[in-house]
Structure 1
């Protein structure tokens, strides 16, 4: 073989493994730390061997390890991996609206509204033949708690008031609309509306700010 043979340049046999070729390249590069020309010749020989292995692989003569691939294919694979790994960020307005409450905060608000809901089911106001003032009182308590719970997060009383009133109106209208399509469940419609509003109050007070 001539001295231009890349295998001779790297001092490895033509049947050397990929790991042996890499090791030889690294060893020779370390041997010439200050000789740029020698380093370039070593890198050129290494590249020539990779191209020779790829050519033989395409011809079906050898199986090239996964580590030996065209540079552009490796770059393409890395780019796809980076793209898949990148998670798009939420819009700024959404990040400013949503809240990530602690478990304690969720449990406190859930306990409060669960208590109100239980009273709504058991109190006399759930009887259609009796006054419903107690249900209105429970909703009023829910309004007060929701405003307080929202305001304590960012000290924005106006925003807390709008969110609370909006939830109250939306919950009432939505529940009345849905009750037209839901069969009776053993509770008066006023009680069901109250329970739905209290549930929405819990969601808004816990997960919005």
Structure 2
């Protein structure tokens, strides 16, 4: 990113508004939140743009928002609230936000193709002997997708293992309930459990940080 000029680094142009620049900066910070060198280059590019616009403002060439020219005048005004802050709920909210992950379309697409192929082979397989191998591939795929997000080996192992166990258990419960109420499921219990586990592992690996 450092080889580009500040505007190109943030993905904006010299005609972009202050709000657009701020939005671009925040989006990049969210995207590269785990990469300190890139975050630093983003801040440097943003500061360079602000300094350049202040200089142009002094020359009378552009108009700079009031909060940039006079930051000491910017006062945060909080609206009165009838609901008291709850530290416990805030901690739960932060923990929940840190746990969830918003994958890109490319991440969803690539992992989706792999799991879709595994599901297809499972459905059209004439024997259940191949299912353990397919499950092994699915578990490995889930681990890889989780690991490449934060590079934490044991955390990725733990989440994958928990997702696998939960998927198998829930699948067996659902299959038994379906058979008990008379639903006609054409798949065998092993196939049903495998397919459900693949879907569950795909969700876990993509949407858990």
Q: Which of the five TM-score ranges fits, normalised by the shorter chain?
A: 0.5 to 0.7
Report the equivalent of 1:138: 134
Report the equivalent of 1:200: 200
Shift, 1:151, TM fit: 0.4
Kindly tell me the number of residue pairs found equivalent between the two proteins. 122
Match of 1:155 among 151, 154, 161: 151
Report the equivalent of 1:177: 173
Distance across 1 between alignment mates of 2:201 and 2:171 = 13
Query: How far does the alpha carbon of each residue in 1:43-82 deviate from its partner, in whole angstroms, 9 at most, with x for none?
Result: xxxxxxxxxxxxxxxxxxxxxxxxxxxxxxxxxxx958x9
Computed over aligned residues only, the root mean square deviation of the Cα atoms, in angstroms, reads: 2.1
Report the equivalent of 1:96: 98
Q: Scaled by the length of structure 1, what TM-score is found?
A: 0.54
Distance across 1 between alignment mates of 2:166 and 2:172 = 10
Distance across 1 between alignment mates of 2:184 and 2:136 = 26
Larger radius of gyration: 1
1:110-125 equivalence runs, <5 A: 110-125=112-127
Instruction: Give 3-state SS (helix, strand or coil) of 1:99's partner.
Output: coil
Q: Which runs of 5+ in 2 are unaligned?
A: 1-77, 83-88
Report the equivalent of 1:18: none
Query: How far does the alpha carbon of each residue in 1:156-188 deviate from its partner, in whole angstroms, 9 at most, with x for none?
Result: 110111111111111111111111121232111
Distance across 2 between alignment mates of 1:133 and 1:201 = 21
Shift, 1:133, TM fit: 2.2
Q: Which runs of 5+ in 1 are unaligned?
A: 1-77, 126-131
Distance across 1 between alignment mates of 2:176 and 2:199 = 19
Distance across 1 between alignment mates of 2:162 and 2:184 = 27
Report the equivalent of 2:107: 105
Moved over 4 A (4+): none
1:34-73 equivalence runs, <5 A: none
Report the equivalent of 1:51: none
Instruction: Give 3-state SS (helix, strand or coil) of 1:104's partner.
Output: helix
